Amino acid sequence: MSIDRKWTSKKKRALEVLLRLKRLYPDATCSLDYTTPVQLLVATILSAQCTDERVNKVTPALFAKFPDARSMADADILDIEKLVRSTGFYHNKAKNIQGACRKIVEEFNGEVPQLMEQLLTLPGVARKTANVVSAHAFGNIQGVTVDTHVRRLTNLIGLTKHQNPIKIEQDLMKLLPKVDWENFSIMTIYHGRAICNARKPNCPDCELAELCASANRIRS
């Protein structure tokens, strides 16, 4: 069974996927807990190869002890490591967090920069983290956040053939309205958790199945 002819246009399919995700997850939002841009930056760095649920269990104690960039920059690195240990790769994450905060203090007057090119100069910050911080801390949509769920689902659906996050982002930016770039990422993550599980996708109950190249191959 192939995808219905009316969805063969990748652009039309992407817009229909977006529409259905909006119906399914109307209240979808960033699931990391934070109160300031630097806290969102730190939480997003910690979320690499770790669940947001685990990060949200770690950050209250971390932010209570080190609430801002300057306190993180001046901290004993071992104290940061101890607090973030359960998120995995804690040596590298602690190093990046402190490095980013030191640069924020030294070069950006203690405030997280808003421009993409400035965010990308911070240790531990690639486009995924920069997009999250830019969109949710400042309301500035500069790209599409591509995490493991977004990479997997957009490949399954057939919106991209790439595995490289930058190339996937470029494909999605061409297919989706700019205003929806970040919402699309968040809703796709929700759908990946709820329905399209990596180990066992629930295609029979998936509202996107008729739009999905992989689901159609499975059912044919």
Catalytic residues: 128, 147
The residues, ordered by sequence, that sit 6+ positions from 220 with a Cβ below 8 Å of its Cβ are 1, 2
Single out the residue of 215, 194, 204, 190 nearest to residue 22, CA to CA.
Answer: 190
Distance CA 130, CA 135 (A): 8
Max CA distance (Å), the chain: 60
Distance CA 169, CA 161 (A): 11
Buried b (16+ CB within 10 A) or exposed e, 165-201: beebbebbeebbeeebbbbbbbbbbbbbeebbeeeeb
- The whole-angstrom distance between residue 40's C-alpha and the CA centroid of its chain comes to 12
Distance CA 214, CA 94 (A): 39
Buried b (16+ CB within 10 A) or exposed e, 13-33: bbebbbebbeebbeebebbbe
